């Protein structure tokens, strides 16, 4: 295994961008099925407008330049080429912080958050509450190599992350994650409890199981019933779909940019707690940068391994090796989360209308991260 860390720069060939534009100009559009609004999926009129903007208004080269403004690197760990951002703060004593993105997202999830963490003074916060930020791309996502065989696990990713932080020279650091990252971030603490000072999870800890339902209070039952009505609980079951036939669906996502855009749009709409359209909750260019990254790296199929290498769905449980904080309690319940976690931070009322809240509310997420990690530095 080589310990070499190599500088990396995004340089998408122009031919790939021309091919994308050509495909977007030759879409074979289906008719609109009967049914109101989004009841049958992404409406044709909505997607046509979004695809037209992707083709004629969106500027990949501008976004590529923005992404290249973050120092990026590649290194090989556990036989995997790992792509990561490493943005050091100029503030002495800054705490290293490892951010893990979710699915179907990428390191793009954190582009609005990074500056607020590395240079809080520039955003009106205490300059001393700064972080050195490390953002790896999960294997199979974006520029990180896909797993070469079956049986790849969250625990294996956590081991890679711990080695990455060791290789960067960090002996104490925090971990953060939401969605897939909510499984990975606690697993890093289990792998490296002497190095991790705290785990911060966006949400999802303490979700009730069937066995918990009889013990729930009346208030918990009301909150749980409300959760059952939300889009993200009733949309396309991507876990089951990608367990069953990921290769089959990957053909469409890999060959048709509109098929890929429709899939991403469907999921980002379902992941909106408020039911808002995806590009009204999250910046449209940021959404399209994430879709473009998947398209241009051909990773719609390889990023599905958390689902196809599983036998069922389970909510993240967390860990008790180090203190845990959350950004938002729902959909979980603190009483249940405390069975598997030492919860020291569970605020009420943090704003957020989307599952990927760091893209929607970077100021509030940065502020809450500073609050949680302040006593742990």
Measured distance CA(189)–CA(198) in Å, rounded: 8
Instruction: Report which of residues 25 and 329 the model is more confident about.
Output: 25
Task: Say if 208 falls within a structural domain.
Answer: yes
Q: Taking 70 as the threshold, does the pLDDT of residue 234 lie above it? A: no
Task: Say if 9 falls within a structural domain.
Answer: no
**Which whole number is the average pLDDT over 143-166?**
96
Q: How many residues does the chain have?
A: 377
Q: What is the pLDDT of residues 292-328, one digit of tens each?
A: 999 999 999 999 999 998 887 888 999 999 999 999 9
**How many domains does the chain contain in total?**
1
Measured distance CA(134)–CA(120) in Å, rounded: 16
Measured distance CA(116)–CA(35) in Å, rounded: 43
Task: Say if 255 falls within a structural domain.
Answer: yes
Query: Which distant-in-sequence residues (6+ apart) come within 8 Å of 316 by Cβ?
Result: 182, 183, 186, 201, 204, 205
Task: Tell me the two tokens of residue 376.
Answer: 């742990």
Task: Tell me the two tokens of residue 264.
Answer: 């991403």
Residue pair 273/230 in contact (Cβ under 8 Å)? The answer is yes
Give the neighbor-by-neighbor strand order of the sheet with 196-201.
5-8, 72-77, 80-87, 131-136, 95-100, 173-177, 196-201, 323-326, 342-345
CATH number of the domain enclosing 81: 3.40.50.1820
Share of the chain above pLDDT 70, in %: 97
Phi-psi region of 334 (alpha: psi -120 to 50; beta: other; left: phi over 0): alpha
**Which whole number is the average pLDDT over 78-100?**
97
DSSP secondary structure code for residue 300 in this structure:
T
Task: Say if 138 falls within a structural domain.
Answer: yes
Task: Tell me the two tokens of residue 321.
Answer: 């090796």
Give the per-residue pLDDT at 221: 82
Cα angle, residue 361 at apex, residues 359 and 365 outer, rounded to 5°: 100
Residue carrying the six token digits 């951002």: 85
Give the per-residue pLDDT at 312: 78
Cα Rg, the chain, nearest whole Å? 20
Measured distance CA(202)–CA(247) in Å, rounded: 30
The catalytic site residues sit at 179, 308, 355
Q: Taking 90 as the threshold, does the pLDDT of residue 146 lie above it? A: yes
Q: What is the pLDDT of residues 33-82, one digit of tens each?
A: 998 789 899 999 999 999 999 999 999 999 999 999 999 999 999 999 99
Give the per-residue pLDDT at 224: 77
Residue from 294, 225, 227, 219 nearest 260 by CA: 294
Instruction: Report which of residues 150 and 367 the model is more confident about.
Output: 367
DSSP 13-81: -HHHHHHHHHHHHS--PPPPPSSSTTTTSS-HHHHHHHHHHHHHT--HHHHHHHHTTS-EEEEEETTEE
Tell me the CA end-to-end span of the chain in Å, nearest whole number: 32
Task: Say if 8 falls within a structural domain.
Answer: no
Task: Say if 5 falls within a structural domain.
Answer: no
Q: What is the pLDDT of residues 210-229, one digit of tens each?
A: 888 888 888 888 877 777 66
Give the per-residue pLDDT at 230: 66
Buried-exposed string 103-116: b where 16+ CB fall within 10 A, e elsewhere: bbbbbbbbbbbbbb
* Domain extent at residue 369: 15-376
Task: Say if 6 falls within a structural domain.
Answer: no
Q: Taking 80 as the threshold, does the pLDDT of residue 127 lie above it? A: yes
In this prediction the pTM is 0.95
Measured distance CA(360)–CA(363) in Å, rounded: 9
Measured distance CA(299)–CA(297) in Å, rounded: 6
Task: Say if 368 falls within a structural domain.
Answer: yes
Instruction: Report which of residues 98 and 348 the model is more confident about.
Output: 98
């Amino acid at each position: 295994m080589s310990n070499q860390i190599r500088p990396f720069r995004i340089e998408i060939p122009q031919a790939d961008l021309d091919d994308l534009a050509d495909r977007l100009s030759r879409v074979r559009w289906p008719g609109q099925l009967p049914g109101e609004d989004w009841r049958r999926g992404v409406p044709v009129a909505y997607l046509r407008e979004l695809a037209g903007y992707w083709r004629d208004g969106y500027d990949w080269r501008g976004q590529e330049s923005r992404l290249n403004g973050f120092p990026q690197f590649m290194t090989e760990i556990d036989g995997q080429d790992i792509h990561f951002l490493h943005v050091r703060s100029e503030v002495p004593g800054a705490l290293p912080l490892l951010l893990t993105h979710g699915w179907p997202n990428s390191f793009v999830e954190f582009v609005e958050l990074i500056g607020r963490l590395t240079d809080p003074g520039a955003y009106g916060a205490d300059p001393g509450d700064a972080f050195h930020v490390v953002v790896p791309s999960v294997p199979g996502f974006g520029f990180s190599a896909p797993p070469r065989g079956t049986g790849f696990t969250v625990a294996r990713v956590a081991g890679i992350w711990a080695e990455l932080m060791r290789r960067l020279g960090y002996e104490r650091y925090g971990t953060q994650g939401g969605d897939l990252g909510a499984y990975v971030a606690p697993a890093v603490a289990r792998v490296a409890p002497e190095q991790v000072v705290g785990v911060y999870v966006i949400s999802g800890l303490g979700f009730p199981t069937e066995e918990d339902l009889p013990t729930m209070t009346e208030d918990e039952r009301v909150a749980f019933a409300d959760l059952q009505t939300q889009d993200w609980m009733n949309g396309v079951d991507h876990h089951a779909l990608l367990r069953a036939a990921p290769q089959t669906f990957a053909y469409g996502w890999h060959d048709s940019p509109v098929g890929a855009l429709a899939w991403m749009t469907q999921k980002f709409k379902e992941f909106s707690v408020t039911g808002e359209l995806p590009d009204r909750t999250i910046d449209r260019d940021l959404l399209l940068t994430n879709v473009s990254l998947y398209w241009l790296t051909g990773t719609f199929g390889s990023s599905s391994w958390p689902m196809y290498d599983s036998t069922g769905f389970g909510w993240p449980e967390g860990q008790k090796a180090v203190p845990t904080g959350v950004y938002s309690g729902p959909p979980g319940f603190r009483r249940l989360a405390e069975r598997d976690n030492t919860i020291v931070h569970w605020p009420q009322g943090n704003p957020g209308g989307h599952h990927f809240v760091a893209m929607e509310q970077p100021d509030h997420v940065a502020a809450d991260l500073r609050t949680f990690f302040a006593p742990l530095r």
